Amino acid sequence: AASRLRIEIDSMPEEVDAAERKLIQMQIEEQALMKETDRASQERLEKLRHDIAAAREALDAQKAEWQNEKDAIVGVQNLKAELESAQLDEERATREGNLQLASEIRYSRIPQLQQQLHVAEEAVKTKQQDGAILKEEVSEEEIASVVAAWTGIPVAKMMQGEMEKLVDLEEVLKGRVIGQDEAVGVVAGAIRRNRAGLSDPNRPIGSFLFLG
């Protein structure tokens, strides 16, 4: 889903692409009308050129809006990556006993990045007030849609309540992993502990090896 969002941000939005294709079709018609000499064709050509000019102006505005929004979203994503890197640097410095560096990162570098991120996110919100062309984050529905494409499980089933999904987790897994009931129970337990906030946030949910 994140990859899909990345492609969406980098690719021309559907509405902009549609406007560009419409402009190209109008320009093709313009070339055809230029070969005609009758009055009706010339009148149509005059009107078409007016429409082309208006369409080109609107398209340029759309492209500029898309680029501005794209730059703002990419800026937010870059700052989030920097902030995550700084937090990892702080953890590493603390583990290695470099408390001076850890303190500098925690009380200087991280707050600066958090402030920059806040400003950048507000800028994105401002740009998207009249309707967003792009999205900064992957929605729950989009994640479900991608997983549905991988597994064949309907989106509606994956969007059911969190508690219901956790309760039914073993049965769902057993329907897809045959003859590994004990392993399925271990996996389901690890997932439940993670969702309940009982697992170590700095370690993976679990590491499993299925044999057979």
Same domain for 113 and 164?
no
Can you give the pLDDT at residue 201? 61
CA pair distance 114, 116, nearest whole angstrom: 5
Same domain for 121 and 164?
no
Q: What is the mean pLDDT of the chain?
A: 77
Same domain for 47 and 110?
yes
Judge whether residue 204 has pLDDT over 90: no
* 56-68 mean pLDDT: 89
Helix axes 14-33, 39-95, angle to 10 degrees: 150
Other residues' Cβ atoms within 10 Å of the Cβ of residue 36: 12
Same domain for 122 and 164?
no
Q: What is the pLDDT of residues 125-143, one digit of tens each?
A: 887 776 555 555 544 555 4
Same domain for 120 and 27?
yes
Q: Provide the number of structural domains found in the chain.
A: 2
Judge whether residue 44 has pLDDT over 60: yes
Same domain for 7 and 111?
yes
Closest by CA to 211, choosing from 179, 185, 174, is 179
Domain limits at 81? 2-127
58 vs 161 pLDDT, higher one = 58
Same domain for 107 and 200?
no
64 vs 187 pLDDT, higher one = 64
| Structural domain includes residue 148 | no
Same domain for 27 and 68?
yes
Can you give the pLDDT at residue 45? 94
Can you give the pLDDT at residue 163? 52
Same domain for 63 and 164?
no
Can you give the pLDDT at residue 43? 94
Q: What is the pLDDT of residues 166-182, one digit of tens each?
A: 666 777 777 777 777 77
Same domain for 71 and 20?
yes
| Structural domain includes residue 135 | no
